[in-house]
């Protein structure tokens, strides 16, 4: 007695097809699963056995051998339970011969019910991509799975229900495609609540338009956290593809909620400075995405930046550069995307008042130690650095509301459209990604701008790396003003965004 069942496994967000073969022979009772990697698979064996017993199927007196192939890819996670169980029931012909275009995914509870499982969205997408016509998976995951179009999705409660369906005793209807409900679109807090601070809003507009990372330095209470929270609301609405990518990351992390199974609002992930390197970058025995990938297509907010462990901040360098996290394990490499805007905030010194009207009580060496937690290479990856000063009382009372989030977003969308056209035949999406070799092609300066830049170099002693960053930010500033040529005022603004590190990190 023999059966073959199809399922899928994940490496990062990429699914691969797995064949589960089961053979049952007379002999002393035994249940072996081969071709599996880790402990979670041994746990799987226990769950499958318990589910068999508790669902009323008595096949304990036989020798059951299950094998998963390809054997050379280490298989982790719990989504193999259900296909293994189906293979056993098919081998003893409780379930009739299986259709080769059917795939099965999901974890079992000990009672034989299907339990919500991590990674169902990318697993289902892989089944669709491999030409499968139907996929059977836990009812709890039906909404996220039905984001995948062009494959029939069946939400299954327990193994008895599946058996009855495949035996033709009951009818099941595939889930309709998931459409987000209007209340799932959140209205992020609005920038019109922030009084004054027009220069900060303008810095944020530039950062978001060109996808530049941002650092805000200012005393406590100056509104840094309030401002950061409002950034996702000025980014363009997520496209369907972006939502699918982000939802896949949340799916693998097991963070989707059945009430709002689709990530349609740009993520905003405030990260605690107590978070571990693995928590931020990703990692673990079964490598899970970290905060930087949960913020994919959105914002990761590191508040009180110098409170983070220096070695943890250093691990951000590669992902910030590549917009992709690679986690290496003995079993191979997996990667998670992190097209993430880094927004960081900090006080200028331990007491918070350095450079502001209130007097600072810190010693110069304690200030340098504090700032020194942030290394030069990390700072270099933050294109836009801006000081935030507390608004004065009169301004709080009287200031007009200034730029609202929707006005800022419109400006950003216009600048992004310019970039889309500019980079049409390239791999690039944003100005922040222009490689050094193509700066002169994409960033033409007029004569006055050229002279100003040269002057700034001589006066400020800027580095070559600073030069690249200034050009890219100036490109975005010019795009926001609809100017193809970069003018002196654009360069001057970009230089200004680079001079804070000189003021503080002398
Ligand atoms: N420009 C502003 N307009 C309106 N309210 C402000 C402004 N700046 C600060 N506030 C108020 O002060 C509070 C503290 O700001 P917060 O963002 O926590 O400051 P920080 O993070 O810089 O310490 C905010 O929640 C808000 O109520
Ligand atoms: Mg704060
Ligand atoms: Zn101080």
CATH number at residue 453: 1.10.8
Token reading at 316: 């951000």
Q: Report if residue 175 sits inside a domain.
A: no
Number of the ligand 1 atom closest to the C-alpha atom of 388: 22
Distances (CA, A) of 104 to 5, 20, 97, 136, 153: 8, 10, 14, 5, 10
Same domain, 147 and 34: yes
User: What's the gap between Cα 477 and its chain centre?
Assistant: 27
State in Å: Cα 267 to ligand 2 middle.
19
> Residues 413-440: pLDDT tens digits?
999 999 999 999 999 999 999 999 999 9
pLDDT band at 499 (very low <50, low <70, confident <90, very high): confident
Neighbouring CB atoms inside 10 A of 86's CB total 29
pLDDT band at 487 (very low <50, low <70, confident <90, very high): very high
Q: Beta strand 288-289 with 332-337: parallel, antiparallel or unpaired?
A: unpaired
Contact 145, 256 (CB under 8 A): no
Q: Report if residue 410 sits inside a domain.
A: no
Same domain, 438 and 307: no
The CA radius of gyration of the chain, in Å to the nearest whole number, is 27
Tell me which of 103, 132, 166 is where a domain ends.
166
Q: Is the CB of 399 under 6 A from ligand 1?
A: no
Same domain, 205 and 245: yes
Report the pLDDT value the prediction gives residue 40, as an integer from 0 to 100.
Answer: 67
Tell me: pLDDT of 331 over 90.
no
Q: Is the CB of 348 under 6 A from ligand 1?
A: no
Mean pLDDT of the region 390-410:
83
State in Å: Cα 222 to ligand 2 middle.
8
Same domain, 26 and 111: yes
Report the pLDDT value the prediction gives residue 351, as an integer from 0 to 100.
Answer: 92
Same domain, 210 and 142: no
The domain that contains 82 carries what CATH number? 3.30.230.10
Tell me which of 390, 405, 420 is where a domain ends.
405
> Residues 136-158: pLDDT tens digits?
999 999 999 999 999 999 999 99
Measured between alpha carbons, how far is 293 from 260 in angstroms, rounded to an integer?
19
Q: Is the CB of 221 under 6 A from ligand 1?
A: yes
Give kind and range of the element (H or E) at residue 42: helix 39-54
Closest CA to 494 of 506, 481, 505: 481
Contact 120, 142 (CB under 8 A): no
Tell me: pLDDT of 506 over 80.
no
Measured between alpha carbons, how far is 4 from 129 in angstroms, rounded to an integer?
20
Same domain, 347 and 213: yes
SS3 453: helix
Measured between alpha carbons, how far is 65 from 506 in angstroms, rounded to an integer?
68
Contact 59, 88 (CB under 8 A): yes
Query: Which residue is it, tokens 């459409």?
Result: 179
Report the pLDDT value the prediction gives residue 39, as an integer from 0 to 100.
Answer: 67
Measured between alpha carbons, how far is 475 from 371 in angstroms, rounded to an integer?
29
Same domain, 155 and 202: no
The ligand minimizing its distance to the Cα of 351 is 3
State in Å: Cα 501 to ligand 1 middle.
24
Tell me which of 166, 199, 216 is where a domain ends.
166
- Taking CA atoms only, the protein residue closest to ligand 1 atom 9 is 223
> Residues 102-128: pLDDT tens digits?
999 999 998 889 999 999 999 999 999
Closest CA to 287 of 37, 33, 116: 37
Measured between alpha carbons, how far is 272 from 278 in angstroms, rounded to an integer?
13
Measured between alpha carbons, how far is 208 from 186 in angstroms, rounded to an integer?
19
Same domain, 159 and 195: no
Q: Report if residue 40 sits inside a domain.
A: yes
State in Å: Cα 391 to ligand 1 middle.
9
Token reading at 223: 């509104």
Same domain, 458 and 396: no
Tell me: pLDDT of 215 over 90.
yes
CA dihedral in degrees (439, 443, 445, 450; nearest 10)? -30
Q: Report the range of poorest mean pLDDT among 38-52, 65-79, 225-239.
A: 38-52
Q: What share of the chain has pLDDT > 70, as a percent?
A: 97
Q: Report if residue 200 sits inside a domain.
A: yes
Domain count, the chain: 3
Phi and psi at residue 439, to the nearest 5°: -60, -45
Q: Between these two residues, 246 and 58, which has the higher pLDDT value?
A: 246
Q: Report if residue 377 sits inside a domain.
A: yes
Closest CA to 118 of 248, 280, 294, 263: 248
Report the pLDDT value the prediction gives residue 482, as an integer from 0 to 100.
Answer: 96
Number of the ligand 1 atom closest to the C-alpha atom of 399: 3
Q: Is the CB of 201 under 6 A from ligand 1?
A: no
The domain that contains 274 carries what CATH number? 3.40.50.300
Which residue among 189, 193, 199, 223 is best mutated to probe the pocket of ligand 1, counting the most ligand atoms within 8 A of its Cβ?
223
Mean pLDDT of the region 187-198:
89
> Residues 262-301: pLDDT tens digits?
999 999 999 999 999 999 999 988 889 999 999 999 999 9
Residue 149 exposed, middle or buried by CB count within 10 Å (0-12, 13-18, 19+): exposed
Closest CA to 224 of 412, 395, 387: 387
pLDDT band at 179 (very low <50, low <70, confident <90, very high): confident
Report the pLDDT value the prediction gives residue 163, as an integer from 0 to 100.
Answer: 94
- The dihedral built from the CA positions of residue 252, 253, 259 and 260, taken in this order, carries a sign that is negative
Q: Report if residue 184 sits inside a domain.
A: no
Report the pLDDT value the prediction gives residue 465, as an integer from 0 to 100.
Answer: 80
pLDDT band at 37 (very low <50, low <70, confident <90, very high): low
Mean pLDDT of the region 192-196:
89
Token reading at 184: 């799932």
Q: Report the range of poorest mean pLDDT among 31-40, 56-65, 291-300.
A: 31-40
Same domain, 13 and 119: yes
The ligand minimizing its distance to the Cα of 307 is 2
**Orientation of helix 198-210 relative to helix 405-422, angle to 10°:** 30
Report the pLDDT value the prediction gives residue 60, as an integer from 0 to 100.
Answer: 62
Q: Report if residue 425 sits inside a domain.
A: no
pLDDT band at 399 (very low <50, low <70, confident <90, very high): low
Ligand 2 is a single-atom ion; what residues have CB below 5 A from it?
225
Tell me: pLDDT of 394 over 80.
no
Closest CA to 91 of 56, 62, 125: 62
- The dihedral built from the CA positions of residue 263, 266, 272 and 276, taken in this order, carries a sign that is positive
Distances (CA, A) of 458 to 179, 219, 454, 461: 57, 31, 6, 5
Q: Is the CB of 134 under 6 A from ligand 1?
A: no
State in Å: Cα 220 to ligand 2 middle.
6
Same domain, 277 and 395: yes
Q: Report the range of poorest mean pLDDT among 156-160, 226-230, 283-287, 345-349.
A: 283-287
pLDDT band at 75 (very low <50, low <70, confident <90, very high): confident
State in Å: Cα 195 to ligand 3 middle.
25
Same domain, 127 and 221: no
Q: Between these two residues, 441 and 400, which has the higher pLDDT value?
A: 441
Token reading at 311: 């070695």
* Mean pLDDT across the chain: 91
**Whole domain around residue 47: which residue ranges?**
2-166
Q: Report if residue 412 sits inside a domain.
A: no
Distances (CA, A) of 43 to 22, 70, 103, 158, 387: 18, 20, 22, 19, 53
Number of the ligand 1 atom closest to the C-alpha atom of 220: 23
């Amino acid at each position: 007695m023999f059966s073959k069942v199809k399922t899928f496994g994940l490496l990062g967000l990429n699914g691969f097809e797995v064949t589960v073969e089961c053979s049952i022979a007379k002999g002393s009772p035994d249940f072996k699963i081969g071709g599996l990697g880790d402990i979670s698979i041994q746990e799987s064996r226990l769950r499958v056995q318990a589910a068999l017993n508790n669902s009323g199927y008595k096949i304990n007196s036989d020798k059951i051998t299950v094998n998963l192939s390809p054997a050379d890819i280490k298989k982790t996670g719990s989504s193999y339970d259900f296909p293994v169980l189906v293979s056993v029931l098919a081998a003893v012909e409780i379930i009739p011969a299986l259709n080769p275009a059917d795939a099965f995914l999901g974890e079992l509870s000990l009672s034989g019910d299907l339990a919500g499982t991590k990674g169902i969205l990318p697993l289902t997408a892989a089944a669709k991509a491999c030409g499968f016509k139907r996929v059977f998976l836990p009812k709890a995951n039906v909404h996220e799975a039905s984001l995948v179009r062009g494959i029939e999705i069946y939400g299954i409660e327990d193994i008895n229900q599946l058996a009855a369906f495949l035996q033709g005793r009951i009818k099941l209807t595939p889930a309709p495609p998931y459409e987000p409900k209007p209340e799932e679109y959140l209205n992020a807090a609005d920038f019109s609540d922030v009084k004054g601070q027009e220069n900060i809003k303008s810095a944020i507009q530039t950062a978001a338009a060109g996808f530049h990372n941002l650092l805000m330095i200012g005393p406590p209470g100056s509104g840094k956290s309030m401002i950061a929270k409002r950034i996702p609301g000025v980014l363009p609405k997520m496209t369907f593809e972006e939502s699918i990518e982000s939802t896949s990351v949340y799916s693998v992390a097991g963070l989707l909620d059945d009430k709002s199974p689709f990530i349609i609002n740009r993520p905003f992930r405030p990260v605690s400075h107590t978070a571990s390197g693995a928590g931020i970058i990703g990692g673990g025995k079964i490598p899970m995405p970290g905060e930087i990938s949960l913020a994919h297509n959105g914002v990761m907010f590191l508040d009180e930046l110098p409170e983070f462990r220096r070695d943890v901040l250093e691990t951000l360098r590669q992902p910030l550069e590549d917009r992709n996290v690679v986690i290496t394990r003995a079993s191979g490499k997996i990667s998670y995307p992190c097209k993430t805007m880094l927004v960081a905030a900090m006080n200028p010194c331990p007491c918070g008042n350095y450079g502001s009207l209130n007097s600072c009580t810190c010693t110069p060496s304690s200030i340098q130690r504090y700032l020194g937690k942030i290394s030069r290479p990390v700072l270099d990856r933050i294109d836009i650095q801006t000081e935030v000063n507390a608004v004065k009382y009169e301004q709080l009372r009287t200031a007009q509301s200034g730029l609202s989030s929707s006005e800022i977003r419109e400006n950003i969308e216009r600048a992004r459209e310019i970039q889309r056209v500019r980079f049409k035949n390239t791999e690039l999406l944003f100005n922040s990604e222009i490689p050094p070799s193509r700066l002169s092609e994409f960033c033409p300066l007029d004569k006055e701008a050229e002279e100003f830049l040269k002057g700034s170099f001589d006066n400020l002693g800027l580095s070559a790396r600073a030069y690249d960053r200034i050009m890219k930010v100036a490109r975005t500033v010019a795009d926001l003003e609809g100017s193809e040529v970069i003018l002196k005022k654009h360069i001057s603004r970009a230089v200004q965004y680079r001079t804070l590190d000189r003021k503080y990190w002398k």
